[in-house]
C-alpha cells in the first residue's frame, strides 16, 4: 500500500517541454548544416585560405641584376647566386639545443635568433644573408623544421679596385650605392616575381603550384670604358703616385672623336668586393667630384680667345721681361723669366706674364664667354652621380688682377673630367661634345666654340710645348706626334696659397695629325722632390697614350725612332703659379 503511493508521487515532465527540446535540437542541427553548406559550398574561400596557410606559401623569385660590361663586352659587374638562411616562424619546430647549434653555426646571438622565431606574425625572416656554400650545407644538415635556404644574388666585380670608382658597388640587398650602380639603379635592378608553392613541415618545397608574377630581370649596361685602356691608365697612375709619394691622383682618357670616356681612374681606391672594409673617403670619384685650380693648363684657352678676338696672331711678340708684372698691390712672376716671346712661345714656355698680358688685352666678357662655352662653371653632364660644376665667377665681378690670374688658371676651379673635355676644342677643330660613360649608339651633337683656324693654330703651340725647349718633353710618345700643356699650381690653404703643396697636371692629345685620344692627368701633392707637371704628370700621359694608341691599332704619324730626352745638364723649363 505504501509502495504504491510512493510510485504515484514521481513527477512527470510536461509534453510541451520535450517537444521544445526536440525543436531546439533540430534548429541547432539545421543551423550547423546551413553553416557547413555555406562554408563548404557557397563560400569556401575562408576554409580554403585557412587550409592553404598550413602548407602553401608565396615565394619571391629574385630578379637578376643586369650585367655591366665594357665597350667590348668584357664583364665588369656580374651577379652570382648565393644561399641565405631564412625561416618561417609559423612553421618553426626547434629545441633549445638546436637554437644554440644554429646560432653558433651562423655566428649570431642566441637571443636574437629566438626573437625571430617567436614573431609568428611574419611568414618569412632572414637569419643570415649570403653564406659560403659549405656553411649553408651545414645548416641544411641540422634538419630544423621551418628553417630553409633562400637563393639570392651577390654582386661580383672582376676588375676590383681598377674599376671601383666608375662601377661602384651594391649593398646586401643588391641595391646600387655608388657610381654607375647607383646612377642606373632603375635599369639594372629589375623587378622580383612571385610563385606559390607547397611546403612540408620541414619548410622544404615539395610542389610548385603556379606562378603569380614572373620576374623582370635587369637590363644589360654597356659602358664606353675600354677595360684594357682602363688597366693601363690605372697602372701608370699608381706607379707615378708611388714614385712621387703623392697624396692622390686621377686620370681621364677621352675618345677625341666621340667624346666617350675610355678610362677614368683615381687613387686612393678600394675593393668593391669587400663590403665589410668600406672607407667612404676612398669611394668618391675624384675625377668627377673633386675640384682643383688647373694652373697653366688654362693658358691655351686664353691664347685661343685672343686669337679669336683678333688682338694677336701666333707670331705677335709679347714682352715678358723682367719676368714679373705688377697689377695694383699684386705681382705676377714667371718661374723661368724670359724676354720678348711670341704668343706661341708664351704657351711653349708657359709664361704667366705673357698669359696675363694676353688676357688684359681682352674685355673680361670675351674671356669669360670662351671659358663658359667649353664647360667651366657647369656640370659636364656625363650622367655620373655627384658631378660638380666647378667655379667660374661672373665676369662683371672680375678685378684686373683676377682677370690676369685667371688667364693661367688661378681663381677658377674645375674637375679633371671638365678639363679633359675642354681640350676637345683643340683636338677636334674647335668643336665640343658632351662626355659619355655609356657607349653611344649614334654620334653626339657638337657645339662650335672656336674656329677651325684658331684650333689648329693652338694645336701647333701645344705641340711645341712637348718638344725640347718646352715644359713637357717627357710627354712625347715614340712613333706619334703629341700635343699638350703642363700645369703646376700651388694648392689653396685658408685664404691664400700653400708654399710647398702643389697640384701637378698635364692635358694633351694624340696623334696630332688626326687626334684620337685626349688624356688628362692630375697628381695631388707630389712630395718626393719633383712637383712640376712636366716631370710628374707628363710621363704618365706618355705611357698611357703610347699604350692605348697601340691597343687601338692607330697608325703612327711620326718616325719610329727612340726618343732622346734633354740631357740632365740642360736647365728644366719651369712653370709655377
Cα distance between residue 548 and residue 479, in whole Å: 13
For the segment 216-240, what is each residue's pLDDT rounded down to a tens digit?
A: 888 999 999 999 999 999 999 999 9
What are residue 213's DSSP bridge partners?
A: 194
Sign of the alpha-carbon torsion through 492, 497, 501, 504? positive
Residue 265 has pLDDT above 80, yes or no: yes
pLDDT over threshold 70, residue 564 = no
Mean pLDDT of the 355-361 span: 96
- What distance in Å separates the CA atoms of residue 451 and residue 435, rounded to the nearest whole number? 21
- Known catalytic membership, residue 296: yes
Q: What cell does 202 get? A: 620541414
- Cβ pair 466, 475 in contact under 8 A: yes
φ, ψ of residue 300 in degrees (nearest 5): -60, -30
Position with higher pLDDT, 201 vs 186: 186
The mean predicted confidence, pLDDT, of the chain is: 87
**DSSP notation for 175-235:** -B-SHHHHHTHHHHH-B-EEEEEEE-TTS-EEEEEEEEE--BPPPPEEBS--HHHHHHHHH
**Euclidean distance between CA atoms 345 and 335, whole angstroms:** 15
State the cell numbers at 7: 510510485
pLDDT at position 499: 83
CB 417 within 8 A of CB 389: no
Q: Which residue has the higher pLDDT, 22 or 287?
A: 287
What pLDDT shows up at residue 192? Answer: 74
At 431, is the pLDDT very low, low, confident or very high (cuts 50, 70, 90)? very high
DSSP 223-257: BS--HHHHHHHHHHHHHHHHHTT-SEEEEEEEETT
Residue 246: pLDDT over 90 = yes
Helix 364-373 / helix 299-309 crossing angle, nearest 10 deg: 120
Q: How far apart are CA 549 and CA 239, in angstroms?
A: 20
Bridge partners, residue 264, by sequence: 252
- Which residue is catalytic, options 84, 296, 338, 505? 296
> Nearest-CA neighbor of 506 among 231, 164, 237, 229?
237
Q: Which CATH number fits domain 58-108+125-222: 3.30.43.10, 3.90.1310.10, 3.40.50.1970, 3.30.565.10?
A: 3.90.1310.10
Taking residues 21-35, report their average pLDDT.
Answer: 80
Distances (CA, A) of 96 to 85, 101, 103: 18, 9, 11
- Residue 136: per-residue pLDDT: 82
Provide CATH 3.40.710.10 ranges for the chain: 227-271+285-551
Q: How confident is the model at residue 342 (pLDDT cuts 50, 70, 90)?
A: very high
Q: What is the pTM of this model?
A: 0.84
CA atoms within 13 A on the CB side of 461: 30
Instruction: Give residue 223's Cα distance to chain centre.
Output: 12
Which superfamily, per CATH, for 227-271+285-551?
A: DD-peptidase/beta-lactamase superfamily (3.40.710.10)
How buried is 164 (Cβ within 10 angstroms: 0-12 exposed, 13-18 middle, 19+ buried)? buried
What DSSP character marks residue 91? G
pLDDT tens profile 502-553: 999 999 999 999 999 999 999 999 999 899 999 999 999 999 999 999 999 9
- 193 vs 49, 59, 128, 350, CA distance in Å? 21, 9, 22, 62
pLDDT category at 8 given cuts 50, 70, 90 is low
Give SS3 for 331: strand
pLDDT at 236: 98
**CATH 3.90.1310.10 domain range(s) in the chain:** 58-108+125-222
Residue 13 pLDDT more than 90? no
What would the grid cell of residue 301 be? Answer: 684657352
Comparing 6-20, 43-57, 92-106, 159-173, which segment has the lowest mean pLDDT?
43-57
**What pLDDT is stored for residue 104 in this prediction?**
84
Nearest to 538 by CA among 550, 517, 521, 525: 521
CA separation for the pair 469, 573 (Å, rounded) = 7
Evaluate if residue 362 carries a pLDDT over 80: yes
Give me the mean pLDDT over the 409-424 stretch.
96
Position with higher pLDDT, 186 vs 13: 186
Amino acid at each position: 500500500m505504501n509502495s504504491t503511493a510512493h510510485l504515484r508521487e514521481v513527477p512527470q515532465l510536461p509534453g510541451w517541454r520535450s517537444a521544445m527540446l526536440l525543436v531546439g535540437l533540430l534548429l541547432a542541427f539545421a543551423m550547423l548544416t546551413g553553416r557547413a553548406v555555406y562554408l563548404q559550398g557557397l563560400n569556401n574561400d575562408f576554409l580554403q585560405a585557412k587550409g592553404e596557410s598550413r602548407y602553401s606559401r608565396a615565394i619571391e623569385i629574385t630578379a637578376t641584376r643586369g650585367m655591366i660590361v665594357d665597350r667590348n663586352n668584357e664583364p665588369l659587374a656580374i651577379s652570382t647566386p648565393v644561399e641565405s638562411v631564412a625561416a618561417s616562424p609559423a612553421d618553426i619546430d626547434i629545441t633549445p639545443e638546436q637554437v644554440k647549434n644554429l646560432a653558433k653555426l651562423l655566428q649570431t646571438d642566441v637571443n636574437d635568433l629566438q626573437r625571430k622565431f617567436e614573431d609568428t606574425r611574419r611568414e618569412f625572416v632572414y637569419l643570415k644573408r649570403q653564406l659560403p656554400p659549405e656553411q649553408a650545407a651545414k645548416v641544411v644538415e641540422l634538419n630544423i623544421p621551418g628553417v630553409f635556404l633562400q637563393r639570392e644574388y651577390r654582386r661580383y666585380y672582376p676588375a676590383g679596385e681598377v674599376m671601383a670608382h666608375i662601377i661602384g658597388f651594391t649593398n646586401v640587398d643588391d641595391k646600387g650605392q655608388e657610381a654607375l650602380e647607383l646612377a642606373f639603379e632603375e635599369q639594372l635592378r629589375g623587378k622580383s616575381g612571385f610563385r606559390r608553392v607547397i611546403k612540408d613541415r620541414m619548410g622544404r618545397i615539395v610542389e610548385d603550384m603556379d606562378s603569380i608574377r614572373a620576374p623582370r630581370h635587369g637590363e644589360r649596361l654597356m659602358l664606353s670604358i675600354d677595360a684594357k685602356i682602363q688597366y693601363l691608365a690605372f697602372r701608370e697612375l699608381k706607379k707615378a703616385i708611388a714614385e712621387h709619394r703623392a697624396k692622390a691622383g686621377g686620370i681621364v682618357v677621352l675618345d677625341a672623336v666621340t667624346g666617350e670616356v675610355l678610362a677614368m681612374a683615381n687613387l686612393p681606391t678600394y675593393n668593391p668586393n669587400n663590403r665589410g672594409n668600406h672607407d667612404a673617403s676612398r669611394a668618391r670619384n675624384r675625377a668627377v667630384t673633386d675640384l682643383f685650380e688647373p694652373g697653366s693648363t688654362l693658358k691655351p684657352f686664353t691664347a685661343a680667345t685672343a686669337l679669336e678676338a683678333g688682338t694677336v696672331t701666333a707670331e705677335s711678340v709679347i714682352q715678358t721681361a723682367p719676368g714679373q708684372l705688377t697689377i695694383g698691390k699684386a705681382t705676377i712672376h714667371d718661374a723661368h723669366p724670359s724676354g720678348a716671346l711670341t704668343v706661341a712661345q708664351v704657351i711653349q714656355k708657359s709664361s704667366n706674364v705673357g698669359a696675363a698680358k694676353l688676357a688684359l688685352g681682352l674685355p673680361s666678357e670675351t674671356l669669360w664667354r670662351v671659358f663658359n662655352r667649353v664647360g667651366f662653371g657647369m656640370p659636364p653632364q656625363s650622367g655620373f652621380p655627384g658631378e660638380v660644376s666647378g667655379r667660374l665667377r661672373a665676369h662683371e665681378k672680375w678685378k684686373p688682377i683676377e682677370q690676369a690670374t685667371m688667364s693661367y688658371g688661378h681663381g677658377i676651379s674645375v674637375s679633371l673630367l671638365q678639363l679633359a673635355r675642354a681640350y676637345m676644342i683643340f683636338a677636334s677643330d674647335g668643336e665640343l661634345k658632351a662626355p659619355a660613360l655609356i657607349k653611344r649608339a649614334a654620334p653626339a651633337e657638337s657645339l662650335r666654340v672656336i674656329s677651325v683656324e684658331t684650333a689648329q693654330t693652338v694645336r701647333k703651340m701645344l705641340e711645341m710645348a712637348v718638344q725640347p725647349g718646352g715644359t713637357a718633353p717627357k710627354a712625347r710618345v715614340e712613333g706619334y706626334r703629341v700635343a699638350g700643356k703642363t700645369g703646376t699650381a700651388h694648392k689653396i690653404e685658408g685664404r691664400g696659397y700653400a708654399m710647398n703643396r702643389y697640384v701637378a697636371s698635364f692635358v694633351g692629345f694624340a696623334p696630332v695629325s688626326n687626334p684620337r685620344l685626349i688624356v688628362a692627368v692630375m697628381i695631388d701633392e707630389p712630395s718626393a722632390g719633383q712637383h712640376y707637371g712636366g716631370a710628374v704628370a707628363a710621363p704618365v700621359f706618355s705611357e698611357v697614350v703610347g699604350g692605348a694608341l697601340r691597343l687601338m691599332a692607330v697608325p703612327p704619324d711620326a718616325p719610329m725612332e727612340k726618343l732622346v730626352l734633354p740631357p740632365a745638364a740642360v736647365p728644366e723649363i719651369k712653370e709655377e703659379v
